[in-house]
Amino acid sequence: MTPEQLNAFMNDYGPILWAIFLTFLGISIIVRSWPFIRGVVKTVEIIEQLPSRLDRIEERIERVEKEVHTNSGTSLKDAVRRIEMKIK
Closest listed residue to residue 79, CA positions, set 88, 64, 68: 68
66 CB neighbour count, 10 Å cutoff: 13
Q: Under DSSP, is residue 82 helix (H, G, I), strand (E, B) or coil?
A: helix
Question: Structural domain boundaries of the chain?
Answer: 3-87
Residue 85: count other Cβ atoms within 10 Å of its Cβ: 8
Asked if residues 72 and 78 have their Cβ atoms less than 8 Å apart, the reply is: yes
User: Do 59 and 65 contact (CB within 8 A), yes or no?
Assistant: no
Q: What is the pLDDT of residues 15-67, one digit of tens each?
A: 999 999 999 999 999 999 999 999 999 999 999 999 999 999 999 999 888 87
pTM reported for the whole predicted model: 0.48
